[in-house]
Amino acid sequence: MFKTERIAYGPVDGLQTGRFGASVNTMSSCYRIGHTLIDTGPPNRWRAVRAFVDEQHEEHGIERVVLTHHHEDHAGNAVRIKKHLGVPVFAPKASLDPLAEGFPIAWYRRLVWGLPEPVAAQPVPDLFPAGDDWRLKKIQAPGHATDMVCYLVPDHGWLFTADLFIARKPRYLRGDEDLLQLIASLRNILTYDFDTLFCGHRGVVENGRSALRDKLRYLEALCAVVQRRHKSGESIRHITKQMLGRDGLLSWLSGGDFSKENMILSCLKTGQHQFA
Ligand SMILES: [Zn+2]
């Protein structure tokens, strides 16, 4: 049920780990570039993450942990690595409170990822050295989470996207995700120069610019069609079923928090903005 895979792409090493099954694919990725570890994997995969971290520390020397957002599948082992290696943890400013004080986590997420321990982090600078002459530039990318950021490696076309990409055509949305912000973040990120994504779940995505552009176009088109159909009198349930298929196991397991209906409802909420 658990699966772990290694990623090696130029100077970047990574680890993908999580549950993998017929109906759930919950692999989460963390990466090392220079002396910096970006994200830390889910708390229930600590053994696999620790082995990766130990190896990377021995070979390259890890001097800091940098987080993309507070979610447990990204920040879940930050405090353990902090203690294990004695290194500081950096995170976006808006992540510091939820990281230090904890935040509500629905039971299905506890089941999939485990429960994180709180961690005291410092604000991550806008541009910072990652070690071995690599620099990382922080780019705000709210939507999936209000505090989420991406990290760009300027002049190399590499972008650590956290949960901005995940899929070209997502059909599900979590209750706490903001679709309008997500669309704005996709538009903004496409103004930067990059082509390879280091996705927080999928691993390396080449031709990442076109992948993100596809996602943006898909979401804009979905919003436009949903708004049109709803205006003409179709019910939410009918539109959901017609456009995304029936809500299934994931929606049921999450008590409706992670569902196709959320995606359609969010498309409607963007209604004051024109996507047609
Ligand atoms: Zn997340």
Q: Report the CATH number that the domain containing residue 244 is assigned in CATH.
A: 3.60.15.10
Same domain for 50 and 13: yes
Report how far ligand 1's centroid is from the alpha carbon of 104 (Å): 14
Report how far ligand 1's centroid is from the alpha carbon of 144 (Å): 6
Euclidean distance between CA atoms 271 and 185, whole angstroms:
18
Report how far ligand 1's centroid is from the alpha carbon of 163 (Å): 6
Overall number of domains in the chain? 2
DSSP 94: G
Q: Which domain holds residue 184?
A: 136-276
Confidence grade of residue 21 (pLDDT, cut at 50, 70, 90) = low
Residue 187 reports pLDDT greater than 80? yes
Same domain for 244 and 144: yes
Kindly report, residue by residue over 55-93, the tens digit of the pLDDT: 999 999 999 999 999 999 999 999 999 999 999 999 999
Residues in the chain: 276
Report how far ligand 1's centroid is from the alpha carbon of 276 (Å): 29
Report how far ligand 1's centroid is from the alpha carbon of 233 (Å): 34
* Inside any domain, residue 131: no
In three-state secondary structure terms, 27 is strand
* Inside any domain, residue 125: no
Mean pLDDT of 204-225: 97
Report how far ligand 1's centroid is from the alpha carbon of 143 (Å): 10
Same domain for 276 and 160: yes
Better-predicted residue by pLDDT, 45 or 274:
45
Mean of the per-residue pLDDT values of the chain: 93
* Inside any domain, residue 124: no
pLDDT score, position 26: 80
Report how far ligand 1's centroid is from the alpha carbon of 229 (Å): 30
Same domain for 271 and 140: yes
Q: Tokens 């203690």 appear where?
A: 83
Rg (CA), the chain: 19
Report how far ligand 1's centroid is from the alpha carbon of 114 (Å): 14
* Inside any domain, residue 85: yes
Euclidean distance between CA atoms 32 and 30, whole angstroms:
7
Same domain for 150 and 63: no
